Amino acid sequence: MSAVIENHHDDHDHGPAKGITRWLYTTNHKDIGTLYLWFSFAMFLIGGAMAMIIRAELFQPGMQIVEPEFYNQMITLHGLIMIFGGVMPAFVGLANWLVPMMIGAPDMALPRMNNLSFWILPFAFFILLSSLFMEGGAPNFGWTFYAPLSTTYAPPSVTFFIFSVHIMGASSIMGAINVVVTIMNMRAPGVTLMKMPLFVWSWLITAYLLIAVMPVLAGAVTMMLMDIHFGTSFFNAAGGGDPVLFQHIFWFFGHPEVYIMILPAFGIVSHIIETFSRKQLFGYSSMVWAMLSIAILSFVVWAHHMFTVGLPLAAEIFFMWATMLIAVPTGVKVFNWVATMFRGSLTFETPMLFAVAFVVLFTIGGLSGLMLAIVPADFQYHDTYFVVAHFHYVLVPGAIFSIMAAVYYWIPKWSGNMYDERLGKLHFWLSFIGVNVTFFPQHFIGLAGMPRRYPDYALIFADWNMVSSIGAFLFGFSQLLFLFIVIKTVMGGKKATDQVWEGAKGLEWTVASPAPYHTFSTPPKVD
């Protein structure tokens, strides 16, 4: 008898709550995914506005718009906001939306923690941004916050910065644990590890990287806190400490962090290229092994960020060779994408355009990374605009293009409406041209000798800086078009089919469009 009553309760399928509480109290993976994505979009626009200030100041030699002190605050916040507020939450948002649907799970494994890990993020960034209005200004020591500039010589707001980084770290760790537990425990019967979609694989690896290195970052900022307020001398040479120790700890976090921001992109791009080539991915298992090798190698290459700190010869040679080794699995991935497209049946809808641009421009960023690994040459490249060009090529047309590709690819499933293809293509071309006009000339500026984090420069760098600034304005303002397209799609438009894309494969395409509030309450059958 009681069984009947319980059944009755189970059948009572409830949709989302009404009003603001739906978003505050939600434990639904789709709602939380949406929150993460909108939050990261807001941060992307704020961090982007800071980039516009930076490029406006660099438009011409001389100081015109801001003071050097404020310029340093802008570069610091731009980096922190784009990394921790833009790229990482966007990937977590995508993981929330997609991982359960791709593995046939009803939700994330730890839904309340999911809510918490999102809702502490706005506080972290509120604290970070409020430091702009504090006495002494916002953090001004670069997103890499090298001690002792970030300890003894830092503005008072550094303590708020440390608190904010701790919150971001806690959020990331909770998000990562959730992803691991979900993937390990909640796969539908038949979804074995080697049958998981590549996006799920990429996130499983990313999540382990996060769990491994976010505590290291927390350790670094805690040591800073101790140096600043409690009289320790971890990084203070005068007290017997070691400023270089900070860099070792920071980059032991920092290098895996770089791959945290690119592995999910690999997953996304693999799906999109497969779909729009209408052909099976060339080498699924080699893609998985390549990602695993990249992740493992990421722990033994950190000192390539520190070739000029005076490492012993043996260390320089080790880190050079280890770094170059990463090119092998990365090459495997690129070759796989090209081989997947080869003799496929290609169409170029907006997601595919972004994915193809990703492969080309990410490869350019990878090749300049290879150049940076060569120690003697790095003595000339290090801390110049060549490095700025390199990491923006892997992060903007790399990570960010992959996120945009993902939004265009999955938004019909999320909203039930098709986006406007003409506007999507326009957004792509504006972004593609903008990003290249911005960052390609920075290779020249760097090789010709302009250091990074300079608010003003010698006259020889003037021309290409102006070009770069024009590109940046184009790229920046094009993103308002992206905002418009997303809002337009959410509000309405041509209804999407369940399958959406002709060549798409995977469980998420078997559910209705828009995806119902609860999917896979009973696990699907997978062969």
Partner 1 sequence: MLFNLLSFTKRNTFLIALLLLVSPFMQADWFALNMTRGSTDISNEVFELHMLIFWICVAIGVIVFSVMFYSMWAHTKKKNPVPAKFHENHKLEIAWTIIPFLILIAMAVPASKTLVKIYDDEAGDINIQVTGYQWKWQYRYLEDDVSFFSNLSTDLDEIYNLVPKGENYLQEVDEMVVIPAGKKVRFLITANDVIHSWWLPAFAIKQDAIPGFVNTAWTIVDEPGIYRGKCTELCGKNHGFMPIVVKVVEQAEYDEWVFAKKQEAIKLAELTTKEWTAAELVERGESIYEVNCVACHQTSGQGISGIFPALAGSDIVMNDKDRNIEILMEGVQGAAMNSFSYLSEVELAAVITYTRQSWGNAEKGDGEIVIPKDIVDYKEPKI
Query: Least separation, in Å, of the C-beta of 502 and partner 1?
Result: 9
| Contact positions with partner 1 (CB under 8 A) in 452-471 | 452-464
Q: Which two tokens stand for residue 111?
A: 């839904």
| Contact positions with partner 1 (CB under 8 A) in 280-309 | 280-286, 308-309
| Contact positions with partner 1 (CB under 8 A) in 394-453 | 444-445, 447-449, 451-453
| Contact positions with partner 1 (CB under 8 A) in 28-47 | none
Q: Of 152, 96, 147, 153, give the one whose Cα is nearest residue 121.
A: 96
| Choices 17-25, 208-216, 354-362, 512-520; region in contact with partner 1 by CB under 8 A | 354-362
User: Exactly one of 29, 279, 305, 390 is catalytic; which is it?
Assistant: 305
Among 1, 376, 491, 525, binds partner 1 (CB under 8 A): 376
Which residue type is seen at 362?
F
Active site residue 333: yes
In the stretch 254-283, what mask flags binding to partner 1 with x, by CB under 8 A?
Answer: -----------------------xxxxxxx
**Burial degree of 313 (CB within 10 A; 0-12, 13-18, 19+):** exposed
Query: Least separation, in Å, of the C-beta of 226 and partner 1?
Result: 13
**Pair 436, 393: CB distance under 8 Å:** no
Query: Least separation, in Å, of the C-beta of 47 and partner 1?
Result: 18
Query: Least separation, in Å, of the C-beta of 162 and partner 1?
Result: 16
Active site residue 143: yes
3-state secondary structure 24-71: HHCCCHHHHHHHHHHHHHHHHHHHHHHHHHHHHHCCCCCCCCCCHHHH
Residue 384: strand pairing partners:
451
d(CA 78, CA 142): 9
Active site residue 402: no
For residue 330, CA distances in Å to 165, 289, 304, 394 come to 30, 11, 17, 12
Query: Least separation, in Å, of the C-beta of 105 and partner 1?
Result: 27
**Burial degree of 72 (CB within 10 A; 0-12, 13-18, 19+):** buried
Query: Least separation, in Å, of the C-beta of 306 and partner 1?
Result: 8
Which of residues 173 and 224 has its CB atom nearest to partner 1 in the complex? 224
| Choices 9-17, 39-47, 325-333, 519-527; region in contact with partner 1 by CB under 8 A | 325-333
Which of residues 7 and 152 has its CB atom nearest to partner 1 in the complex? 152
DSSP of 155-211: -TTHHHHHHHHHHHHHHHHHHHHHHHHHHHH-PPTT--GGGS-HHHHHHHHHHHHHH
| Sign of CA pseudo-dihedral 155, 157, 162, 168 | negative
Active site residue 31: no
Residue 66 sits in the site that holds partner 1 (CB under 8 A): no
Q: Which two tokens stand for residue 48?
A: 């982007």
Query: Least separation, in Å, of the C-beta of 187 and partner 1?
Result: 23
**Pair 265, 177: CB distance under 8 Å:** no
Among 237, 296, 480, 512, binds partner 1 (CB under 8 A): 237
Residue 510 sits in the site that holds partner 1 (CB under 8 A): no
Which of residues 21 and 280 has its CB atom nearest to partner 1 in the complex? 280
DSSP state at residue 498: S
Active site residue 330: yes
Among 1, 3, 4, 238, binds partner 1 (CB under 8 A): 238
Query: Least separation, in Å, of the C-beta of 219 and partner 1?
Result: 20
Q: Which two tokens stand for residue 386?
A: 């060549």
Which of residues 21 and 152 has its CB atom nearest to partner 1 in the complex? 152
Active site residue 284: no
Active site residue 164: no
Q: Which two tokens stand for residue 300?
A: 């033994």
| Contact positions with partner 1 (CB under 8 A) in 122-181 | 134-137, 140-142, 146, 148-149, 152-153, 155-156
Residue 242 sits in the site that holds partner 1 (CB under 8 A): yes
| Choices 85-93, 116-124, 183-191, 332-340; region in contact with partner 1 by CB under 8 A | 332-340
DSSP state at residue 508: G
CA dihedral 414, 417, 418, 422 (to 10 degrees): -120
Active site residue 421: no
Which of residues 14 and 133 has its CB atom nearest to partner 1 in the complex? 133
d(CA 502, CA 93): 25
**Pair 34, 97: CB distance under 8 Å:** yes
User: Exactly one of 31, 257, 274, 316 is catalytic; which is it?
Assistant: 257
Active site residue 146: no
User: Exactly one of 187, 271, 304, 382 is catalytic; which is it?
Assistant: 304
Active site residue 9: no
Instruction: List residues with catalytic annotation.
Output: 78, 107, 143, 171-172, 255, 257, 259, 270, 304-305, 330, 333, 452
